Structure 1
Amino acid sequence: MNMTSINEEAKMNGNIATTFVRKGIRPLFALAVLASLTIFSVHAATTGTLKFEGVIMPGTCNLDPGDISRTITLDPVSIAVFVDQVSVGTKEFQLTARCDLGVGNVTFAFSGTPDTTDKWRFQNTGTAGGIALNLSSNGTTIRADGTDSARTVTTSNGVASLPLEASYWKAGAVKSGTLVSQVTVNITYQ
């Protein structure tokens, strides 16, 4: 007996279970068929809520690898040039920060030990006497005492470059020897 004839007889009798029993179909099989025809609904035992959080950072900047630990060597000068000049032997260079796109400005902040006689200049720890280091950007002194020691540069294509000048500074009676001065630079950005 096929399913079509069973369905037709069930329609006439109005009860599919009776039809299965009359035709000699086992009740367990009939129950399985009935169960497969029943539509099951699924109920959730528990519901939950997922919360998502995050932060969008503006990007980062780093000093160019060549500027992280860099020695700027000033050209040698004669002691005689200090007779009528205070600042001599100017060496131009630049510091560069490489930034992610979206960073608009980079601030270069300088710090170090001020000279004992001129607080705007950086102390010489070399052997020359009466000499300090003068550091400036675009002709304006970057002061060692921290009162005017930061410069802000706008980025262009992810790069911020700060032009700088370093020179010997007459801070007293000049004596021959070496100039050694250490200046720390920190960058911040936005």
Structure 2
Amino acid sequence: MTEPLKILVILGSVREGRMAAPVGDWVIERAAARADLDCELVDLDDWDLPFFPHAKPPAAGKYQDPLQIRWAEKIAGADGYILICPEYNHSGSAVLKNALDTVFAEWGRKPVSFVGYGTVGGARSVEQLRLTAVTLEMAPLAGAVHLVRPGAKRDGDRFNADSYDDKALAALFDELTWWGRALRVARAGQLPSPSI
């Protein structure tokens, strides 16, 4: 059996009472039943990343800020990502976009999947984040989970998914595992970057 993929499940909200926390816990709980995934919950509320204050753009590398360096190490250690993304005003959350913008190379050549929630299941947030992911040289995957009216399925700190939600998440895991394995092999072979 191949080594499980290290996947970071990143909570894209820091709001009080946020839906991201129970949704993220649901993702982690379902992933724990799989031998091919090793998922870790990453709460942006624990990171307090400043809003892009550094003189050099992250694409230049050579990070000097200690928090940025720690964030880069956290991101670099993963084989892929699941972003738990709310939709605020037809867009993603500022804190999640900032977390993506804080480092650059560490995201590259890795798959990213999305669990969106909010108006129309967070679809507009997911679509905008896919554009950001492409620019960060990630591989945004087609399958996503779109939770419509997730508050109706919330019981305190627990998200009570229905069978449709669970089926969509299982499909997301399958797609993420396939791409994660393929891209891990490609990165290990150190394929040259395409010249554009």
Q: Same fold (TM over 0.5)?
A: no
| TM-score in terms of structure 2 length | 0.22
When normalised by structure 1's length, the TM-score is 0.22
Q: Which has the higher strand share?
A: 1
Which of 1 and 2 has greater Rg? 1
